[in-house]
Amino acid sequence: MPLPWPLDLAGFYLHRKLGRRTIPLLASFKVTHRCNLACRACPFHRREDRSTSMTWETARVVMETLSRLGTRIVIFEGGEPLLWHDGPFRLHDLVREARNRFLRVAVTTNGTLPLDVPAHAIWVSVDGLKETQDNLRSGSFDRIMENLQGSDHDRIFVHCTLNRENLGDIEGLARWARDLPVVKGLTFQFFYPYKQGEDDLSLFPEQRRWAVESLLDLKKRGFPVMNSSNILRAMASGRWRCHDDILINVDPDGSITHGCYAKSRGEINCAACGFTPVAEASGALDLKPGSIYAGWRLFLR
């Protein structure tokens, strides 16, 4: 069983900084590329291996490896991870297994299936209000609303990937999420061009700066934007210290890759990076107060 989080994270930091050990903080764990949507910004449902799913035994072996490497946080992803099954096993079983091994376990889902998985936190991907969401994400808005309103999970967050077609929805989305009692906050990242057949929805530099200023204004006005101000500003300027070795990637075939989220999944272009979770984790490792506070609110509070 994991140690209490203050002791566990203190040990992680000491081993990283004093022991100079390369220990991954979090794992992006893709259990399947299968999905019930065909989102315009997503490359994974277009891949030749889009039907690939991990077996239960492979998942257990991978979790043993991640635990041995010192990983603290596991985030199950897809495709759509709630579609995953292997015989009698569902994602719920993987999450329970992971909770016995790791400090925190989260799930990122498109929200079209019941939000009843026993993770510490659930992120639901919503990229705009109804018209925008339905355009970008296969007409999914109404199903998401139904599942959000029907869930009694106590730590659900909305995650939005900003692109050139949803910038006008930033404040409206924030108002919508704020008014849903089940949603505890919003996180934002920026569209990353994998160049694998997805629509090119990349923001121009001035659009990204405008988006960051809008998010900072929403934070000042009390909207539940969970990204830290320091990382948002860094995303606008393109300047931050990236410790990509705090991330480890798992793909549905069981392969494990250390480093950048795109490393095993597409072309790496640091100038186009929009992966705010990795930027926040890097900031926390550098003891940036805003990033530490954001991590506490999302995973530890």
Provide the pLDDT confidence category of residue 6 given band limits of 50, 70 and 90: confident
Encode pLDDT of 188-220 as tens digits.
999 999 999 899 999 999 999 999 999 999 999
Q: Give the Cα-Cα-Cα angle 193, 224, 227 (nearest 5 degrees).
A: 40
Domain assignment present for residue 16? The answer is no
> What is the CB neighbour count within 10 angstroms for residue 82?
25
Residues in Cβ contact with 34 at an 8 Å cutoff, skipping those fewer than 6 apart: 50, 51, 52, 53, 78, 79, 80, 83, 84
The tally of domains found in the chain comes to 1
* In the predicted structure, residue 48 carries a pLDDT above the cut 80: no
CA distance 122 to 267: 28
Which of 258, 241, 242 lies closest to 250, judged by CA?
Answer: 258
Domain assignment present for residue 195? The answer is yes
Instruction: State the pLDDT at residue 49.
Output: 73
Q: By three-state DSSP, how is residue 187 classified?
A: strand
Provide the pLDDT confidence category of residue 148 given band limits of 50, 70 and 90: very high
From start to end of 64-176, where are the E strands?
73-77, 85-86, 89-90, 104-109, 121-125, 156-162
* In the predicted structure, residue 68 carries a pLDDT above the cut 90: yes
Encode pLDDT of 15-40 as tens digits.
888 788 899 999 999 999 999 999 99
Q: Take residue 111 and report the two structure tokens written for it.
A: 């929200």
Domain assignment present for residue 164? The answer is yes
Q: By three-state DSSP, how is residue 180 classified?
A: coil
Domain assignment present for residue 94? The answer is yes
Which of 179, 211, 129 lies closest to 219, judged by CA?
Answer: 211
Q: Give the Cα-Cα-Cα angle 53, 139, 226 (nearest 5 degrees).
A: 75
95 lies in which domain range?
A: 22-300
Provide the pLDDT confidence category of residue 2 given band limits of 50, 70 and 90: low
For the segment 5-20, the average pLDDT, to the nearest whole number, is 86
Q: Take residue 181 and report the two structure tokens written for it.
A: 């009692």
Provide the pLDDT confidence category of residue 45 given band limits of 50, 70 and 90: confident
The one-letter amino acid at 124: V
Q: Give the Cα-Cα-Cα angle 297, 282, 94 (nearest 5 degrees).
A: 60
Q: Verify cis geometry, omega within 30 degrees of 0, for the bond prior to 79.
A: yes
**Helix pair 276-285, 229-237: axis angle to 10 deg:** 120
Domain assignment present for residue 286? The answer is yes
* In the predicted structure, residue 47 carries a pLDDT above the cut 80: no
Residue 290, phi-psi category: left (phi > 0), alpha (psi -120 to 50), beta (remainder): alpha
Domain assignment present for residue 59? The answer is yes
Domain assignment present for residue 180? The answer is yes
Instruction: State the pLDDT at residue 10.
Output: 87
Q: Give the Cα-Cα-Cα angle 262, 187, 214 (nearest 5 degrees).
A: 110
Paired sense of beta strands 73-77 and 104-109, if any:
parallel
Please tell me the total number of residues recorded for the chain in this structure: 301
Provide the pLDDT confidence category of residue 125 given band limits of 50, 70 and 90: very high
Q: What's the CATH number where 264 sits? A: 3.20.20.70
Secondary structure of the chain: what % helix, strand, coil (to 5)? 40, 15, 45
Domain assignment present for residue 12? The answer is no
CA distance 275 to 169: 20
Average pLDDT of the chain to the nearest whole number: 94
Encode pLDDT of 216-248 as tens digits.
999 999 999 999 999 999 999 888 899 999 999
